[in-house]
């Protein structure tokens, strides 16, 4: 039995993809359970993706199976509190985070948050370039499974692979965490660039220089270079910075166009940018684009001012 905790779009899509193989999957939701049980679809998040027969929707964590891995599809800024609240049920389980970002208070990524909160749990991370709608439709998608325990990583890789979901594995949890977190910040910058009408050439420059920032910080934190150039880093960056399906990119578009953005939509790049700025200062790592996004998201400067600040930096070698 595989259990998915969190019935947002991504958690629901993973549950659907896994259940299509015929294996039993339980999807826990905070609300709307009765409706989903009756309609066999998540009408709020993925209305065009019906549930397979082997997918069960539950409303009580106490009723979930005591065996098999648990996918944590909850927002990064809620992860620590969620683990603390349900520590009695999750303390000794295999927990796979399916969220991206850095905790604004601790600056820890998903795997490190699990380890710090529930040290007896076995922690892993599922990340990479993916949109929930694509996974739910059965479109081909490749993700990275990061787990320090190589043997456990192989077991989880087999358990999570489906006909449309190809899983690669790595033991570099730091690189996978930071690739998935930092690309959201760069996506906001790219969205603002396009929203302001600066063009694709400017976006390409932001993506390239943003990727250099991602590498600088991640390598200082012990990440492997190949992780950043793989699905968890460059792959996710390419997708998130070029598609309006990305919440972070859409937030940037709204900033550039000076349009209202729905505050109920989770934009992980905002708290991550602020965490990164504090972290970079401690490590003495230069992160000008991430710093610009942190200030830009507060409304203290305009997109034009942020761009001018970046362009006025001293010239240097690439």
Average pLDDT, the chain: 96
**What is the predicted pLDDT for the residue at 294?**
96
For residue 273, give the 3-state DSSP assignment: helix
pTM: 0.95
| Confidence label for 104 from pLDDT (cuts 50, 70 and 90) | confident
- Ranges of H-type helices in 161-315: 173-195, 200-220, 225-228, 236-240, 247-257, 269-283, 288-296, 303-311
Question: Which residue reads 């990583």 in tokens?
Answer: 153
Is the domain covering 180-311 a CATH 3.40.50.12780 domain? no
- The full set of domain ranges for the chain reads 2-171, 180-311
Instruction: State how far the Cα of 254 lies from the Cα of 52, in Å rounded to an integer.
Output: 36
Instruction: State how far the Cα of 221 lies from the Cα of 139, in Å rounded to an integer.
Output: 34
- Given the residues 100, 122, 183, 196, select the one marked as catalytic: 183
CATH superfamily of 2-171: NAD(P)-binding Rossmann-like Domain (3.40.50.720)
Whether 148 is catalytic is no
Q: Which of 52-61, 82-91, 237-246, 296-305 shows the lowest per-residue confidence on average (mean pLDDT)?
A: 296-305
What average pLDDT score do residues 168-196 get? 98
In the predicted structure, residue 307 carries a pLDDT above the cut 90: no
The answer to whether 236 and 183 have CB atoms below 8 angstroms apart is yes
For residue 231, give the 3-state DSSP assignment: helix
**What is the predicted pLDDT for the residue at 165?**
98
Same fold? 2-171, 180-311: no
What average pLDDT score do residues 166-192 get? 98
**What is the predicted pLDDT for the residue at 311?**
86
Which residues are CB-contacts of 76 (< 8 A; sequence separation ≥ 6)? Answer: 99, 100, 101, 102, 103, 110, 181, 268, 271, 272
**What is the predicted pLDDT for the residue at 210?**
97
Q: Note the pLDDT tens digit of each residue in 47-91.
A: 999 999 999 999 999 999 999 999 999 999 999 999 999 999 999
């Amino acid at each position: 039995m595989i259990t998915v905790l969190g019935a947002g779009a991504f958690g629901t899509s993973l549950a659907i993809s896994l259940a299509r193989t015929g294996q039993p999957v339980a999807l826990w939701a905070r609300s709307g359970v009765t409706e989903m049980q009756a309609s066999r679809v998540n009408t709020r998040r993925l209305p065009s993706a019906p549930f397979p027969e082997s997918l069960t929707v539950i409303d009580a964590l106490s009723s979930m199976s005591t065996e098999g891995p648990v996918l944590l599809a909850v927002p990064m800024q809620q992860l620590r509190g969620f683990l603390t609240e349900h520590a009695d049920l999750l303390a000794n389980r295999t927990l796979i985070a399916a969220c991206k970002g850095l905790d604004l208070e601790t600056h820890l990524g998903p795997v490190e948050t699990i380890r710090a909160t529930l040290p007896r749990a076995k922690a892993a991370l599922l990340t990479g370039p993916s949109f929930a709608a694509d996974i739910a439709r059965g479109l081909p998608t490749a993700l990275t499974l990061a787990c320090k325990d190589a043997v456990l990583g192989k077991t989880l890789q087999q358990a999570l692979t489906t006909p449309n979901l190809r899983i690669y594995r790595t033991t570099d949890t730091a690189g996978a965490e930071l690739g998935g977190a930092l690309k959201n910040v760069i996506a906001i910058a790219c969205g603002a660039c396009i929203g302001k009408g600066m063009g694709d050439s400017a976006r390409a420059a932001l993506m390239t220089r943003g990727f250099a920032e991602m590498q600088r910080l991640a390598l200082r934190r012990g990440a492997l270079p190949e992780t950043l150039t793989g699905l968890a880093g460059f792959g996710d960056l390419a997708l998130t910075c070029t598609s309006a399906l990305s919440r972070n990119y859409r937030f940037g578009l709204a900033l550039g166009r000076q349009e209202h953005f729905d505050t109920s939509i989770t934009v992980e790049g905002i708290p991550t940018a602020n965490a990164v700025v504090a972290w970079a200062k401690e490590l003495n790592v230069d992160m000008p684009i991430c710093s610009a996004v942190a200030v830009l998201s507060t409304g203290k400067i305009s997109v034009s001012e942020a761009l001018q600040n970046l362009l006025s930096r001293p010239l240097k070698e690439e």
